[in-house]
Structure 1
């Protein structure tokens, strides 16, 4: 039998049944909403997207969705404390277009990074995470400096293993540990300095999406073009895209490649 939005709605109602939840269906938008009765917090699922995925992957789609929704709903209803959870606090890189406040109006703790990227802070909850907002800091009496210091320390403690590839005499290194903090490793200055010290040419860095950090040891003009194409491809395919631009790393600064590459004098 062909899957339809109405049929999918019925399956989700069945799978996510809970006396504490309220569900609703918006016929015009073809969306299914599930929320906590007491707080009104919840999430909206676009049914045609789920149906399309179901037609490709079958029952596994519903199993995955049930797990993600259940986990997200649970987290929404818990009060999370930072004290005692210091080792679970990490920085996350997002595009500057990413919201700076939650849908409920809470200000997310963040700091500027480059013209393309911004740093937020996450409380790691195992299968998922919660972005830290100002009210969480106030409850604990923490400062922005403290959260940044803790998060930066924790990102340095992660493994920095990478895979290497050489294209047209330029070396590319990919960090893709799939731990949610691959792009965040761009904030590990010691790691950047180590890669720079080992580079034969100029060191470029890219964070096209959350789950990859790319280093490029640029040794000829072709290197810039290869990196640009590579970054665009990763950016288009990423689950949480960040930026399709790459950066040159020098003097402990990240500068967009498109500005520098064109004006860079030839090395003798």
Structure 2
């Protein structure tokens, strides 16, 4: 399976009279767009191909489900007022589209050199990324941010722990769509930093996992790098294969090559 075949398969399974397909050859992305509204979803073909090598048909099934649910959500008329408890931050790669269409931008904010913060309105089985068209009445970017961060701090945190070669790894996988978003819970990160005796590293390879590492030796860095890459390749919404050092309440991306670590 190559990207051309994946593109053809997606076009076949997502074909609908109300939709058009736009292929960005430079980025190797396929955009599925509603003809009437101009709203759509872009998917990375190389990312799907990487998942295909491990998951086969399941990789295609997940993308089709994600696109169908997302396009359906975009069709619904929604407002933020009355849905305050359903507004959450979501973490995305810096390569993720910044606009819902040519004229409407998503509400986004800088996070790290590798990631951005978007905001979503939870619709149950799916969610809608909040764009500037929803900034109405008394809703401002600041109010969206404060509401979303309040909601993410209220989400439960349940960690699984593993120890490898003297290093501890903590995994948060609640599968509620906001596991990676918990990286924005500063109180949680500070609490973990007080618990960790070595070097604290954090990873968000895809939206449904958050990894925190207590690194005690060089092997710990290599294990974290391999682990993060594996999650990145298998995630439905990949974010970044890089990890971050957590120091002085700040996140700094690190490149890990072999047994050497570089900032």
| Structure 2: distance between partners of 1:230 and 1:98 | 23
Q: 1:257 aligns with which of 243, 254, 258?
A: 254
- Structure 2 residue aligned with 1:236: 233
Query: Conserved in 1, the CA contact under 8 Å of 2:38 and 2:101?
Result: no
2:177 maps to 1:180? yes
Query: Conserved in 1, the CA contact under 8 Å of 2:153 and 2:185?
Result: yes
Deviation, 1:257, is 2.7
- Structure 1 residue aligned with 2:195: 198
Q: Which has the greater radius of gyration?
A: 1
| Structure 2: distance between partners of 1:158 and 1:176 | 12
SS of corresponding position for 2:255 = helix
Deviations 1:104-134 (A, max 9, x none): 4311101100111100000000000000011
2:105 maps to 1:140? no
Structure 1 portions without partners, runs of 5+: none
Q: 1:212 aligns with which of 209, 212, 219?
A: 209
Query: Conserved in 1, the CA contact under 8 Å of 2:39 and 2:101?
Result: no
SS of corresponding position for 1:90 = strand
Query: Conserved in 1, the CA contact under 8 Å of 2:21 and 2:33?
Result: no
- Structure 2 residue aligned with 1:225: 222
Q: How many matched pairs?
A: 237
- Structure 1 residue aligned with 2:83: 85
SS of corresponding position for 1:204 = strand
Q: Give the TM-score normalised by the residue count of structure 1.
A: 0.75
Structure-2 change in CA distance of 1:43 and 1:174 (3 Å): closer
Deviations 1:131-163 (A, max 9, x none): 0011211x2332211111000000001111011
Q: CA RMSD in A?
A: 3.6
Deviation, 1:202, is 1.4
Structure-2 change in CA distance of 1:43 and 1:132 (3 Å): closer
Query: Conserved in 2, the CA contact under 8 Å of 1:35 and 1:43?
Result: no
SS of corresponding position for 2:125 = coil
2:151 maps to 1:159? no
